[in-house]
Structure formats: C-alpha cells, structure tokens
Amino acid sequence: MKDILISGLLGAVSALVIAASPATAQDVTIINAKVVVGDGSEPIENGTVVVRGGKVVAAGAGVSTPGDIPTMDAGGAWVTPGLFAAVTTLGIWDVGAVRESNDQRAGSAPFSAALDTSDIINPNSQHILVSRAAGITRASTTTMPSSSIFAGQGAIIDLDADAKPVMQAKAFQMVELGERGAAISGGSRAAAYVLFRSALREAAALGQGLPRTPEIGADGEVMLSRFDAEALRSVVAGTQKLYVSVERASDIRAVLALKSEFPKLDMVLVGASEGWLVASDIARAGVPVLADGLDDLPESFEELAATQSNIGRMTDAGVTVAINASAMENTRRLSQHAGNLVALERIPGAAGLSWGEAFAAISSIPAKISGYGDRVGVLKSGALGDVVIWDGDPLEVGSVPTKVFIGGVEQSLQSHQSRLRERYIDLDESDQPKGYDW
C-alpha cells in the first residue's frame, strides 16, 4: 500500500513538472501558403515556410521541404511573421478604472526615469492573451509619464504563454515633451526643455564621475533623484534608446536639435502627428518614427496639421516609420491601422503605403527600431519562429489568425473574451443571464 501511495505521489509530481515545463518548439513545414516575408515586399503565392528548432530556416517560393519535418498544408491561406506592437502597456494593467490592477502610471512615486517596467509584466494579463489572438507576438511595453516627463525604462516582451515574457529589460527610456510635457513641468514647454536638459547633463556628469547637485523643485522637492539620474546615464551614453513623445512640427525640430548637444542620443520619435511638415529634417537626422496610424483630425493645438497621409508622406521622404500602438484604444487593432494606410493609396491626393510597406510597418520596421533587425518580424533564415496563419488578408478588418506560433511554439488563442463569446453565442434570449433582461 505504501509503495502504491509513493508511486501515485511520484506520478502526480511528474505530471506537475511536465505541466509547468515550457512548451518545446515545433518543427513544421507550411506549404501551399500565401507567404508574407514582412520586409516590405509583396506576398508570394504558393510559398513555403520551414521552421526548425524555434527558428525560420527558409521562406518563399521554391523552398524545398525537408523530409524529417511534419508538413502542414495551408490551403492557400496567408502566412506571415508575427506582428510587433510598439509602445504599449501590455502586461501592466488589467482594468483601467481599478487602480489596484493598473500599474501604468506612478504619479505619487518619488521616482520617474528609474522605473523599470520589466519587473511588473504579468504574462497572464487578458490584454496579452487578446493581443496574441490578434497575431501580435512581440511588443515594447512601458509605464507612462505622470508626475515627471520621464516615464521610465520600457521592456521588449514576447506574448508567449510562459512565465518569462521579458526579452530585454531596460530597452528604452520614454520622455514626454510637447503639451503634456509642458503641463507636467509647470505649464510651459520652456520648463520641460530646461528639465530635460538638466537631467541629461546630470546623468552625463555621473557618467564622468563628477559630483552632482540635485535640481530643487517647488517646496524643496528634488525633481530628479539620484536613482533617476543613474538610470539616464545609459541614455546619454547612447546605449539605451530614448523614445521622445512629441507631436508639433516645431517641437520635432527642437528635439532633433538636441542631437548636437548630446550627440550620442539614440532617439526615436513617438507620435509625430505633424511629422510630414518636417519630414526632410527627420530623414536627414536619421531618426526613426513610431507614428500614429489613424490621425485625421487635430485633437489638440499641437496636432493642427494632423493628416492620415502623415506616415505615407514621411515614408516618401525617406523616414523610417512604423505604427505607434500607444495611440490605439486597443492594441489588437494594429493590423486595421496598417490596412487603412493601404486604402489611402487609392484615394486621389492622399499618401498611403503599399501592402508590403504597410505590413512591414507593424512587423519588421518596429522590430528594427527596437534593435532586433532581421531577428523579429520577418520570415527569413535565422529569424525567430513567429508565424501566423490567417483566415484572410491580414490587413482586412474581418480577418483573424487561425494559428499563432511564437518561437516555433503553437499558442492558445483563447482569452476571457473568447470564452465569453463561446458561452453565449448560441444561446437564445431566454437563456441569457438576468442582467440582459431589459
């Protein structure tokens, strides 16, 4: 009896270990697919994608099928790399109105630039699950500015169903300038730029081993703590990217001018609603842009020149542009925003993107801006095996993924939303809960 109990316990423990272990990557060859490489090129008919050991081996037309890898017939379906959502709050909040579940802002904290998003990512957040079901496999995520123009240090994450979502901690620092930065700093853009410059100078002084004098704010409060200044050292040194949220054309010029004062800054513009007005300046500076995808009307005085042609015009001027996910109400709408840019190409006088360019703006380009080159957001040899199979054109509103692989591991497409849909979709009115009885 004792042996039976021990055997049963060992079996139970073994089952728990198996359940807790990470899923292994699947080797798969997908044939008869409409393959999207993701590098800006157009879709390839009757293509093949080979994934082995969690990485892409080959993709495109005329690819040979290895005999030792299982074959999946896509039946002509679209097969693409996973989408990359740039500048999100994925994994750091659940319900916006419930403060206890919302870690997006730290308005009462004594820290700003030192905040580290990688410490607080929840891989079981429903927002991650819903976004994964929409074909998003990687993202940059960050806290948002509140009591300081500095938001903190963002992280690059994968949306895999495992307990370790962080690919890169402290990947970038976020700073808010323009109207919002002015409001935080005391009511004027002038104050925001003084604070910004003084913070970078203090960080530079720390990097050179020089003593620092804390900047004193209202009521004797320290505006930049030692920990915040320490966190900005890598920004000044150019080893950590600086994401600058700015909209107005004149503000964009002012930000670009900072490169002459701090030449090592590795800057990325975020928002840039009036970027098209200064597109040649941005292109000349070699600064990439994460731009809002659906700005068509001004929401503020700093966006008076907003136009849906913004991304198309900047791209035509030679600017590297990806779509900014932070401007969306829901990150899962990322492909819809890209599809809108394709539609703009057909409107006289408007500037949009080709299909390949639009898809790259939500796959390879945000990955490149984030420092991942040809490793993420593309179906090329050596890239991570993030593969999505769709039931239609991925840039059409009604299309959804039927399969999602992250690093070669097939993912569940279930979420709280999908389970609720399945629960109630076939019920008639008499079966609905009391709350639906009007």
How many Å apart are CA 395 and CA 99, to the nearest integer? 35
Tell me what the mean pLDDT of segment 100-117 comes to.
85
Question: Is residue 103 predicted with pLDDT exceeding 50?
Answer: yes
The CATH code of the domain at 83-376 is 3.20.20.140
Amino acid sitting at position 195: L
**Report field, pTM of the whole predicted structure over 0.85:** yes
Domain boundaries of the chain, sorted by first residue: 22-82+378-438, 83-376
Distance CA 349, CA 353 (A): 13
Residue 15 has pLDDT above 50, yes or no: no
- Residue located via tokens 């040979």: 64
CATH of domain 22-82+378-438: 2.30.40.10
Alpha carbon 263 to its chain's center: 26
Which of the two residues, 107 and 125, has the higher pLDDT score? 125
Cα R_g (the chain), whole angstroms: 24
pLDDT band at 12 (very low <50, low <70, confident <90, very high): very low
Give the 3-state secondary structure of residue 138.
strand
What per-residue confidence (pLDDT) applies to 295? 85
* pLDDT reported for residue 3: 44
Do 264 and 147 form a contact (C-beta atoms < 8 A)?
no
> Residue 332 pLDDT more than 80?
yes
Q: Angle at CA 403, nearest 5°, toward 402 and 404?
A: 135
Which residue do the tokens 């070669």 mark? Answer: 408
Separation CA 72–CA 103 (nearest Å) = 41
Q: CA angle, 253 as apex, 252 and 254 as ends, to 5°?
A: 90
Write out the two tokens for 29. 């060859």
Residue 296, pLDDT > 60, answer yes
pLDDT digits (tens, 9 = 90+) for 118-139: 999 999 999 999 999 999 999 9
Cα(279)–Cα(141) distance, integer angstroms: 26
Does residue 183 carry a pLDDT above 90?
yes
Q: CA-CA-CA-CA torsion for 358, 360, 365, 367, nearest 10 degrees?
A: 130
Position 48 scores a pLDDT of: 98
- Find the farthest-apart pair of alpha carbons in the chain and give their distance in angstroms, rounded: 83
Select from 306, 258, 252, 304 the least CA-distant residue to 283. Answer: 252
The mean pLDDT of the chain is 89
Per-residue confidence (pLDDT) for residue 326, from 0 to 100: 86
Residue 180, SS3 per DSSP: helix
- Which run of H or E residues covers position 140? strand 136-141
Q: How far apart are CA 150 and CA 51, in angstroms?
A: 40
* Mean pLDDT to the nearest integer, 292-299: 86
| Least confident window among 78-92, 318-332, 397-411 | 318-332
Residue 166: per-residue pLDDT: 97
DSSP string, 228-292: HHHHTHHHHHTSSEEEEEE-SHHHHHHHHHHHHHSTT--EEEEE-TTGGGGHHHHHHHT--EEE-
Task: Write down the pLDDT at residue 11.
Answer: 42
Q: Cβ(54)–Cβ(69) under 8 Å?
A: no
Q: Is the pLDDT of residue 285 over 70?
A: yes
CA–CA dist 339, 37 (Å, integer): 17
Each residue of 365-384: pLDDT tens digit?
999 999 999 999 999 999 99
Q: Decide: residue 94, CB within 10 A, 0-12 exposed, 13-18 middle, 19+ buried.
A: middle
Does the structure show a pLDDT above 60 at 146? yes
More confident residue, 294 or 220: 294
Tell me if 366 sits within 8 A of 84, measured CB to CB: yes
